[in-house]
Structure 1
Amino acid sequence: MKQYEVAVIAGDGIGPEVMAEGLSILQTVEKLHGGLSFATRSYEWNCSYYLQHGRMMPADGLEQLRDHDVILLGAIGAPSVPDHVSVWELILPIRRAFQQYVNLRPAKLLKGLDSPLRYKGHEELDFVIVRENTEGEYSNMGGRLHSGTPYELAVQNNVFTRFGIERIVRYAMGLAESMGRKRVTAATKSNGINYSMPFWDEVVRDVHKEYPEVDLSLCHIDALAAYFISRPESFDVVVASNLFGDILTDLGAAIVGGLGLAPSGNINPEREYPSMFEPIHGSAPDIAGKNIANPIATIWSISMMMNHLGYRDLGKLILDAIEDVLVEGKVRTPDIGGRATTQELGNAINEKLLAHA
């Protein structure tokens, strides 16, 4: 029996609602694979915890998470706590301490759904975005001066290292080779950002020399955003810095149906630390408690977790079950044109998963 230790941070808003459906899927996976089990441990770290304790997690929170194999995150954020506090004191420390330098987000139109890009179909909307996850524009360097005066100013430093760029680009190149789809597009803005982006471009080209079979193109971020809309079929793997990747992945989610359908993995490829899997939709406080949140992004994130753990057959079974339910079209949450509850959609996917066994 192979047992995996899974840390569960359900979080805020709709996080606990969608997490419940994800954990139900894990239980079904255990039934399908008799030699596999998941020991889950929940951590009640969220904005409510912050309001009680003045911090998003305990001082030894990272140590508590370190020995787990993987982390499942529901969603973080609430109107009562500024976003720059909730994100910078929970999500970003986990990503950085555990060297989860790959943020992996598929932009794939699932069967049974139509894209808002009515002129594009399933074959044209299927690519992967690899976002650098630990440095770049979200580096914790800078400060404010002369606060509360007419001379007040703020400085935010972007940090790009050769080491950081090389490892994210190598991951993207290797992913393209493994997918058998050998186009890599690197996002840049070297015509306007005159130090960090030319450096990014140079390192991207240097790494590309190690992958002669991969076709590389560098594309300015503004043009790239436009091409996501006008010609998404031209992409296989897109690699981008932290900020550019953040923007592009939300756009990628929008063109395949919305944030409620978008999974992600924060990956430590070397497996020295736990990787973390989460939906990208946020805590959605406006619908929290209404039992209408779409659990697909969470369930798809668990499919990605299975792939990461080496059970690609189980990852595919989960994704197939999601698509089967969508193709039938009988059980859908309001965001995708139905009236089903969160649990009803989760149950329907679970039933399909069992039927595939």
Structure 2
Amino acid sequence: MPTHNIASIPGDGIGPEVMKEAIKVLRAVEAIHGDLHFTIDSYDWNCKRYLETGRMMPEDGIQTLAPYDAILFGAVGSPEVPDHISVWELILPIRREFQQYINLRPIKLLKGIESPLTNKGVDDIDFVVVRENTEGEYSNSGGRLHIGTPYEVVVQNSVFTRMGSERVIKYAYELARKRGSKELSVATKSNAINFSMPFWDEVVKEIGADYNEIDAGFYHIDALVAFFVSKPEIFNVVVGSNLFGDILTDLGAAISGGLGITPSGNINPEKNYPSMFEAIHGSAPDIANQGIANPIAQIWSASLMLEHLGYPELAKKVVNGIEAALVEGEVRTPDLGGTASTAEFADKIIEEIQKEA
């Protein structure tokens, strides 16, 4: 019997609520497969822990996670803890220590959801953003001088290495090839950012020499965000640096129904380390503990995990179950115009998954 060891980090706010439902879905998948089993250990690494101990996770947190096959992450953030602490002391160390250099985010309008974009349907919004995930604009490089004085100086450096750029761009080309795309859409700003972005563009062209069937389409980031809104149907695979990819994927989530729907994977493609799968929504403290959070993003993230672990058919069944529940339409959380609780909506999704099985 294949057994996969999964670390669950529910986190803050609505994180524990949606994580509970994602794990229920995984248990339903176990029952469908029959020979598949997940051992799931939960860790209370969050802002509450930080307020009590001064650390978001214990000193040996990375060593604790290292043996797992994958990590399911809920959400992080609390009004009581500055965001730069909660993010830089939990999510970012995991991404970097485990070389999760690919942030993979499907931007897909699911059946049963209307996009806020007029006249755009499920055939128009269906692409993937590949975001560089360990360096770029989010590199931990810089500092402050003369703090609190009129001549205070703040320096924030972006770091683009050849290795870091090459590996994410090659991954994006491979994904474009797998999806049968004729273009790899590239986010850049080489007309204004005169060192890192021309270098990024050069690496795209160099890697592209091995993918003659795929054209590199270069889009300045300001034009690209406009095209995400005006003609999302032209995109199949988009690749961007850490900051550009982050911004683009939140916009992509908005045009496909909202942050409560969209999943993500922090991927170590070589599988030398565990990859981490998380909903891209925040901890939403304003609705925490009310049982009304939309669980789709967390459940869909679990589906991405299934695909990464080698079960693409099961992953597809989960997404099909989400769509079937949405199309049926009677059981929805308030953000989708319904009155159902988080658990009720997840139960409906599980029901639809079981029907397909």
TM norm. shorter chain > 0.5: yes
Aligned partner of 1:58 in structure 2 is 58
Q: How does 1:312-331 map to 2 (within 5 A)?
A: 312-331=312-331
The structural deviation recorded for 1:215 is 2.0
Mark the runs of 5 or more structure 1 residues left unpaired by the alignment.
Answer: none
The structural deviation recorded for 1:84 is 0.3
Distance (whole Å) between structure 1 residues aligned to residue 310 and residue 342 of structure 2? 28
The structural deviation recorded for 1:260 is 0.3
Q: How does 1:338-353 map to 2 (within 5 A)?
A: 338-353=338-353
Aligned partner of 1:203 in structure 2 is 203
The structural deviation recorded for 1:55 is 1.0
1:193 and 2:193 aligned: yes
The structural deviation recorded for 1:279 is 0.3
Q: What is the number of residues matched between the two proteins?
A: 357
Distance (whole Å) between structure 1 residues aligned to residue 76 and residue 110 of structure 2? 26
Letter in 1 for 2:26: L
Task: Give identity over the alignment, percent.
Answer: 63
Distance (whole Å) between structure 2 residues aligned to residue 119 and residue 191 of structure 1? 33
Aligned partner of 2:77 in structure 1 is 77
Aligned partner of 1:149 in structure 2 is 149
Aligned partner of 1:99 in structure 2 is 99
Letter in 1 for 2:325: V
Q: How does 1:13-24 map to 2 (within 5 A)?
A: 13-24=13-24
Instruction: Tell me, yes or no, if the aligned pair for 2:78 and 2:285 is still in contact at 8 Å.
Output: yes
Distance (whole Å) between structure 2 residues aligned to residue 146 and residue 188 of structure 1? 33
Helix, strand or coil for the counterpart of 1:251? helix
The structural deviation recorded for 1:182 is 3.0
Distance (whole Å) between structure 1 residues aligned to residue 153 and residue 81 of structure 2? 24
Structure 1 segments, 4+ long, off by >6 Å, are none
Helix, strand or coil for the counterpart of 2:260? helix
Aligned partner of 1:263 in structure 2 is 263
1:169 and 2:166 aligned: no
TM-score by length of 2: 0.99
1:245 and 2:245 aligned: yes
Helix, strand or coil for the counterpart of 1:259? coil
Instruction: Tell me, yes or no, if the aligned pair for 2:184 and 2:215 is still in contact at 8 Å.
Output: yes
Helix, strand or coil for the counterpart of 2:116? coil
Letter in 2 for 1:118: T
Aligned partner of 1:134 in structure 2 is 134
Q: How does 1:207-246 map to 2 (within 5 A)?
A: 207-246=207-246
Q: Deviations over 1:145-192 (max 9, x none)?
A: 001111112100000011111000000000011112232101000001
TM-score by length of 1: 0.99
Instruction: Tell me, yes or no, if the aligned pair for 2:267 and 2:275 is still in contact at 8 Å.
Output: yes
Letter in 1 for 2:68: H
Question: Alignment RMSD, CA only?
Answer: 0.6
Instruction: Tell me, yes or no, if the aligned pair for 2:204 and 2:216 is still in contact at 8 Å.
Output: no
Mark the runs of 5 or more structure 2 residues left unpaired by the alignment.
Answer: none
Q: How does 1:268-307 map to 2 (within 5 A)?
A: 268-307=268-307
Q: Deviations over 1:307-337 (max 9, x none)?
A: 1111000000000000000001101111111
Range that drifts further, 175-184 or 188-197: 175-184
The structural deviation recorded for 1:296 is 0.2
